[in-house]
Structure 1
Amino acid sequence: MSIKTRLLLSYIAMTFIPVVLFAFIAVMLASVFFKDMAGVGDGRGPFWKASNEHSELIAGVKFTARTDPDRLVDSGFLKRTDEQLQLLQTGLVVMRNNGITFISPNLDAADLGRQLQDPQTSGWGKNTRERYSVSTVDFTFGDGSAGKLFLFSDMNLFYSEASRFFPLLFLSLLLVIGLTNGLLTLLVSRSLIQPLYALRRAAEQIKEGDLSQKVNLKRKDEIGEVGAAFEEMRIRLNDSIRLQLQYEENRKDLISSISHDLKTPIAGIKACVEGIRDGIADTEPKREKYMSMIAKKTDDMDRLIDELFLFSKLDLKRLPFNLEAIDLAAYLRDCAEEFRADPRMNGTTVAFAYAGEGPVIVIADREKLRRVIMNIIDNSLKYMNKTKPEIILELLDGEGAATVKIEDNGEGIMEEALPHIFDRFYRAEPSRNTDTGSSGLGLAIVKQIVEGQGGKVWAESRTGEGTAIYFTLPKTRQAVNGHETDLNH
Structure 2
Amino acid sequence: MELKRCFFLLSVLCLATALFLTFAIYLLCAKAAERFPSGGISIDFDGMATELAEPDLQQRQILKLLDGIRLFSAVLLPAGGLGIAGILFYHLKLKRPIAVLQMGTERIRSHDLNFSLPEISADELGQICAAFEMMRAELLKTNRELWQQAEERKRLNAAFAHDLRNPVTVLKGSIRLMKSGRADEHTLERMDRYVQRIEQYVEAMSSIQRLEQLRVRPCEMTGSVLREELEETARLLAPGTDIRLSVTDLGTIRIDHGIFLTVAENIIGNAARFAHEKLEIRLTQAGDVLGLIVSDDGPGFPAELVKNGPKPFGKLEESPEHLGMGLYGSSLLCLKHGGELQMKNLPAGGAEVTAFFVLQKTCSEKKIEKS
| Coarse TM-score class (shorter-chain normalised) | 0.5 to 0.7
Q: Does 1:174 align with 2:63?
A: no
Alpha-carbon offset, residue 239 of structure 1: 4.3
Alpha-carbon offset, residue 198 of structure 1: 5.7
Q: Does 1:154 align with 2:52?
A: yes
Q: Does 1:222 align with 2:120?
A: no
Cα contact 1:314–1:448 (8 A) shared by 2:
no
Does 1 or 2 have the higher relative contact order (CA < 8 Å, sep 6+)?
A: 2
1:18 and 1:461, CA in 2 relative to 1: closer, same or farther beyond 3 A? farther
Cα contact 2:163–2:326 (8 A) shared by 1:
no
Instruction: Please report the RMSD computed on the Cα atoms of aligned residues, expressed in angstroms.
Output: 5.9
Give the distance between the partners of 1:460 and 1:27, measured in 2 at CA.
98
Measured against aligned partners, the alpha-carbon deviations of 1:452-480 in whole angstroms (never above 9, x if no partner) come to: xxxxxx9999867999x9xxxxxxxxxxx
Give the distance between the partners of 2:51 and 2:336, measured in 1 at CA.
107
1:461 and 1:287, CA in 2 relative to 1: closer, same or farther beyond 3 A? closer
Give the distance between the partners of 1:16 and 1:449, measured in 2 at CA.
82
1:459 and 1:235, CA in 2 relative to 1: closer, same or farther beyond 3 A? farther
Instruction: Within 5 Å, give how 1:419-438 maps onto structure 2.
Output: 421=310, 429-430=316-317
The secondary structure found in structure 2 opposite 1:287 is coil
Q: Which residue does 2:42 correspond to in 1?
A: 133
Letter of the 1:178 counterpart: A
Cα contact 2:247–2:283 (8 A) shared by 1:
no
Cα contact 1:418–1:459 (8 A) shared by 2:
no
The secondary structure found in structure 1 opposite 2:50 is strand
Letter of the 2:52 counterpart: D
Q: Which residue does 2:173 correspond to in 1?
A: 271
In the alignment, structure 1 segments of 5+ residues that lack a partner are: 38-46, 48-88, 90-128, 138-148, 321-340, 349-369, 394-407, 451-457, 470-489
Q: Which residue does 1:232 correspond to in 2?
A: 134
Give the distance between the partners of 1:195 and 1:442, measured in 2 at CA.
54
Q: Which residue does 1:294 correspond to in 2?
A: 191
Measured against aligned partners, the alpha-carbon deviations of 1:340-387 in whole angstroms (never above 9, x if no partner) come to: x99589769xxxxxxxxxxxxxxxxxxxxx99xx99xx79xx69x999
Q: Does 1:441 align with 2:350?
A: no
Cα contact 2:41–2:49 (8 A) shared by 1:
no
Give the distance between the partners of 2:18 and 2:286, measured in 1 at CA.
88
Q: Which residue does 1:3 correspond to in 2?
A: 3
The secondary structure found in structure 2 opposite 1:152 is strand
For the pair shown, the structure with the greater C-alpha radius of gyration is: 1
Alpha-carbon offset, residue 269 of structure 1: 0.9
Q: Which residue does 2:182 correspond to in 1?
A: 280
The secondary structure found in structure 2 opposite 1:216 is coil
1:9 and 1:242, CA in 2 relative to 1: closer, same or farther beyond 3 A? same
Measured against aligned partners, the alpha-carbon deviations of 1:44-90 in whole angstroms (never above 9, x if no partner) come to: xxx8xxxxxxxxxxxxxxxxxxxxxxxxxxxxxxxxxxxxxxxxx9x
Give the distance between the partners of 2:281 and 2:314, measured in 1 at CA.
20
Cα contact 1:198–1:215 (8 A) shared by 2:
no
Measured against aligned partners, the alpha-carbon deviations of 1:236-289 in whole angstroms (never above 9, x if no partner) come to: 3344345435544554554344334313321321321342244222xxxx333x
1:9 and 1:213, CA in 2 relative to 1: closer, same or farther beyond 3 A? farther
Cα contact 2:43–2:49 (8 A) shared by 1:
yes
Cα contact 2:159–2:326 (8 A) shared by 1:
no
Cα contact 1:391–1:409 (8 A) shared by 2:
no
Give the distance between the partners of 1:210 and 1:299, measured in 2 at CA.
46
Give the distance between the partners of 2:13 and 2:286, measured in 1 at CA.
81
Q: Does 1:261 align with 2:169?
A: no
1:267 and 1:242, CA in 2 relative to 1: closer, same or farther beyond 3 A? same
TM-score, reference length from structure 1:
0.42
Alpha-carbon offset, residue 390 of structure 1: 9.3
Q: Which residue does 2:271 correspond to in 1?
A: none
TM-score, reference length from structure 2:
0.53
The range that moved more, 237-246 or 180-189, is 237-246
Q: How many residues matched?
A: 295
Instruction: Within 5 Å, give how 1:331-346 maps onto structure 2.
Output: none
In the alignment, structure 2 segments of 5+ residues that lack a partner are: 216-220, 227-245, 250-254, 269-279, 296-300, 347-351, 357-371
Q: Does 1:184 align with 2:85?
A: yes
Alpha-carbon offset, residue 134 of structure 1: 0.5
Cα contact 1:307–1:441 (8 A) shared by 2:
no
Q: Which residue does 1:165 correspond to in 2?
A: 66
The secondary structure found in structure 2 opposite 1:415 is helix
Give the distance between the partners of 1:170 and 1:449, measured in 2 at CA.
95
Alpha-carbon offset, residue 314 of structure 1: 4.6
Instruction: Within 5 Å, give how 1:334-483 maps onto structure 2.
Output: 414-416=303-305, 421=310, 429-430=316-317, 440-444=328-332
The secondary structure found in structure 1 opposite 2:173 is helix
